[in-house]
Structure 1
Amino acid sequence: MRKVILTTGGTGGHIYPALAVARELKKRGVEPIFVGTSHRMEKDMIPQEGYKFIGLDVKPLKNIASIFKMLKSIIKAIGIVRKEKPDAILGFGNYISVPAILAGIILRKKIYLQEQNANLGFANKLFYRLSKMSFLAFEKTYDDLPIKYHKKLKVTGNPLRSEVYMVNRKIERERLKIEDDEKVLLITGGSLGSKSINDAILSKWERTLAEKKIRIYWATGKNHFETINQNLNKYKPNDVIKPYFSNMPSIMAVSDLVVCRAGALTISELIAMEKPSILIPYQSIKVGQYENAKILEETGASYIYKNSEAEIAIERAMDLIKDDIELAKIRARIKVLKKDRAAEKIVKAMDIWGRK
């Protein structure tokens, strides 16, 4: 049986694309084996999905102790690759993928990379020259890399969870009892939440109460929910305020407008569902959300605001959601960015399909 090692972890943004590819590999009779950390969310999340998982004690390279952990993890990864004998290794970025990718290079395995963001992250920058192919989410990434390596790049879009493609807007609106003349505004700062976005909504809450035909789905983030709940003394019966929506694809499907951060998978889901958005990127340069957001803005498919402009962003959202003509124009512009069946394209492009 063919095997592919998928090395990923740390955040859902790295793990969900890997799981999407794993499902596609399994469908084609290939065994996916995951290598990640022994102490972050992948150690629970991946076995729950029914896949073999091997954990390494690897941490970001910040001090001498973490460097020793990385070296020990590389040695352990070499043993894993020798034992499993994979047909290829596919890395999904960040420091967690370094040991398995390096082990694959040392043992002369076929190396593939997947980049979720507009700009290459640290690990993928380190290894793209040595990979057989790097799968990109966005065309823009070509601009950052020397032309001589472009033949090793393929734009597939981000592999997304199957629910994103399967969910039906009309069915979900009926299930949630959303009226035909009712608009839905989704506001989310991600699973941990965003204080600047949450504070902005609180400051404009009186206006949201006055908009009887706008239903708000607000994901506060688990760290902020209790405080916000205590500060809200009234809200419309149809508004839904939770720490996080486990059925986020369904909520996004029924939404007319989304106010959110600009993580790579969020951008890809907005594109896949053709959702108008107002983006407030997380401002750390390392995370790269501003560059992700620019992809939508430059196509006329979104509006970008800084953290310090979050209140203006909420005001803009309350106006834009009532402008049916502008929303229709935005949805039309998004279509040019769509890249469907990313997981399928990645698996097909991997050179593992010859005779065993």
Structure 2
Amino acid sequence: IWAGWVFRKKIIIHQQDIRPTLSNKLCSWCASKITVSFEKSLSDYPKEKTEWIGNPVRDALLGANADISREKFGFRSDQPIILITGGSSGSKALNEWVWKNLGALCAQFQILHLTGKDKSSPNIKHENYHQIEFLGGDMFHALALADMVISRAGISIITELSFLGKVAVIIPLPGTHQEDNAFFVEEAHAGIVYRQDKLDSHVARDIVNLLHSQDERTRLSRAISGLMKKGGREQMIEIISEYESK
């Protein structure tokens, strides 16, 4: 970025998470434009060049279809589906919790579990349990089919959950910016948040009860739908186009 500034290039930086990153703070002085995902982040950067646009979502999400996605993964339509993901690299703690509570979860629900590369367990089997190490470009299919998503608190997944209105159980990575993101979700009553060190059989029972409560699921879906500002992708394209023409 600094090299671009030396050569008089227009610099646009985007602050995704609530907690400002050191790299963005260091580069903010040379940026032509700064965009942020959250309104409260406007105060972290120079007012005259900072704009709240929300967080852009992938094109693929725009055409996500639950019926097509269920067929792709071989899921039935007679039981709810829980998507469990520990992020792109997976989560050992989350995986172990899933496997310990698989009986309770799979008794009434279908599970799509993204374990992370080299973190799957071939010995864990159940007719309602599907484990995949990594999905990549097909992640939008997994999100589309899910009735509930259990995930980390990266801002990209939170944005996508908001865009799709998914019932969310959030388990932030301890000691990271994800805890700030999770607090934002919890404060808005838009998801259920658990600390990683509190994962136990009681959490599994809470999840079963939640999936049986249509009223609570509807409330959470509405709340998370309004959590993130929409239109970030379109606004980002407009901003880039504007600075390209200058």
TM-score (norm 2): 0.89
Q: Distance in 2 between matches of 1:251 and 1:331?
A: 17
Say if 2:164 and 2:225, in contact at 8 Å, map to a contact too.
no
Listed as ranges, the matches of 1:1-356 within 5 Å are 101-143=1-43, 145=44, 149-173=46-70, 176=73, 178-211=75-108, 214-225=109-120, 228-230=121-123, 232=124, 234-236=125-127, 238-246=128-136, 247-285=138-176, 288-311=177-200, 312-350=202-240, 351-352=242-243, 354=245
Cα deviation per residue 1:61-112 (whole Å; 9 max; x = unaligned)?
xxxxxxxxxxxxxxxxxxxxxxxxxxxxxxxxxxxxxxxx111222332221
Give the Cα–Cα distance (whole angstroms) in 2 for the partners of residues 276 and 138 of structure 1: 21
Is there any run of 5+ residues in structure 2 with no aligned partner, and where?
none
- Is the 2:106–2:129 Cα contact (8 Å) retained in structure 1? no
Matched to 2:114, the amino acid is A
Q: Which has the higher contact order (CA 8 A, sep 6+)?
A: 2
CA distance in 2, matches of 1:254, 1:106: 47
Work out the CA distance in 2 between the residues paired with 1:293 and 1:171.
30
Aligned residue identity for 1:183? P
8 Å CA contact retained: 2:210, 2:217: yes
For 2:171 and 2:113, the matched residues in 1 are separated by 15
Q: Deviations over 1:158-182 (max 9, x none)?
A: 2222111211224434555655441
Cα distance in 1 for partners of 2:70, 2:197 equals 33
Contact 1:165 1:272 in 2 (8 A): no
Cα distance, 1:329 vs structure 2: 0.6
- CA drift of 1:193 comes to 1.2
Q: Deviation digits for residues 250-307 of structure 1, max 9, x if unmatched? A: 111111111111112111111111111111111133xx11111122212211111111
Q: Matches of 2:233 and 2:20 in 1, distance apart? A: 19
Q: What is the aligned length?
A: 243
Larger radius of gyration: 1
Whole-angstrom distance in 2 between the partners of 1:250 and 1:135: 28
Rounded to whole Å, the distance in 1 between the matches of 2:230 and 2:63 is: 12
The 1-side partners of 2:210 and 2:113 are apart by 17
Contact 1:262 1:279 in 2 (8 A): yes
Given residue 194 of structure 1, which amino acid in structure 2 is its aligned partner?
Answer: S
TM-score, length basis structure 1: 0.63
State the identity as a percent. 28
